[in-house]
Amino acid sequence: MWISREISQRLLLLNKKKRVFDILQIGQSRDIASKVFDYVLVLVIVVNILVMLFETFDSLKEFRFVFETLEIVCILFFAMEYILRIWTSDYLYPDVSRGRAAANFIFSFDGIVELFTILPFFFLSGFVVFRMLRVVRIFHLFRLNANYDSFNVITTVLKEKKNQILSSLFILFVLVLGASICMYSAEHEVQPEVFDNAFSGIWWSVSTILTIGYGDMYPVTVAGRIMAVIISVLGVGVVAIPTGIISAGFVEYYSRMQREEQRGRGTIALNATPESGLIGLGIEQLANDFGILPLVIIRDGAVVIPTDDIRITNGDTLVYYDDTI
């Protein structure tokens, strides 16, 4: 009798833990509690950011107590959510042990962002470096979009084009270094206090190549001005290269998605139900256990890009390609 009661209590705790995990995840229209939590989370994030901005107004010093109270409430909410996400992390990473699952979440992008948005509250006074941690609170804004399609599209494009982007950044680095050395050679004798060594022109070259041009450092010799014109023209082209690569990546990505949507033959839409055995599985598990690699996941009418941290929930529609049809 005592053993059965202990087992029932443990099962009840597991059910509550699973329910907490479901609520913390991106909510579906059928799950009112999870949907409400999502709205409350967005509201708290927005309030926290607004408080940080309003605290910088000297004219609002009389409301400082209100701001501090709101800040404490927000931090308590974020801290409780962070603890609950660690507690339920074994559902997010079901293939590893409980301790490993907690570590995976803590060192994941979402875990680091959540931790960095809590820490500044405890270091708002004292050394300047601690007070600067206020800025870290804007990381809350990442969480508004971290699990939705647009954020996944951006990260996917950046991963696909990382080699081209790194190559363009290397070209930019070479141009900055070369511009600094050239400007030193042309201007050092005339402006030794401004261009005192080969690296002193890096600030000038960066501001010039990025078309900012603060005007605190500028060439006065004919040779220096000619090189400045050439470097400025080259800088416009070099800076445009990463932009073009990323833009082309977005075009390729959405063109590929459009082709997949228009390709009716061989495309299967599978609904995730409790009987299907798919609920709670990750993308890798789907591929290994069922041979399914979703192209997209339709969730509440929205298109979700399948990434490693996505878990199948009840009501999802998995769109995948079967070449045997």
Pick the CATH number of 265-321 from 3.40.50.300, 3.40.50.1450, 3.30.70.1450, 1.20.120.530: 3.30.70.1450
Q: What is the pTM of this model?
A: 0.54
Q: Which is nearest to 147 in space by CA: 54, 234, 85, 214?
A: 85
For 50, the token pair is: 């607004």
Helix ranges (DSSP H) in the chain: 2-24, 32-54, 64-87, 89-92, 98-106, 109-118, 128-131, 140-143, 149-160, 162-187, 202-209, 222-262, 283-285
Class of domain 162-261: mainly alpha
Q: Which is nearest to 46 in space by CA: 148, 146, 137?
A: 137
What are the pLDDT tens digits along the chain (325 aa)? 444 555 556 656 667 888 888 888 765 567 788 788 878 888 888 888 888 788 878 888 888 889 889 888 888 888 898 899 898 888 888 888 888 989 988 988 778 877 877 777 776 554 444 445 555 555 555 655 554 556 667 777 888 888 888 888 888 888 888 888 888 888 888 888 888 887 777 888 888 877 676 777 888 899 888 988 888 888 888 878 888 888 888 888 777 776 666 554 556 778 888 777 888 888 888 888 887 888 788 887 777 778 777 888 888 888 876 655 5
Report yes or no: 284 and 264 within 8 Å, Cβ to Cβ. Answer: no
What's the fold here for domain 2-146?
Answer: Four Helix Bundle (Hemerythrin (Met), subunit A) (1.20.120)
Give the start-to-end residue ranges of the domains of the chain: 2-146, 162-261, 265-321
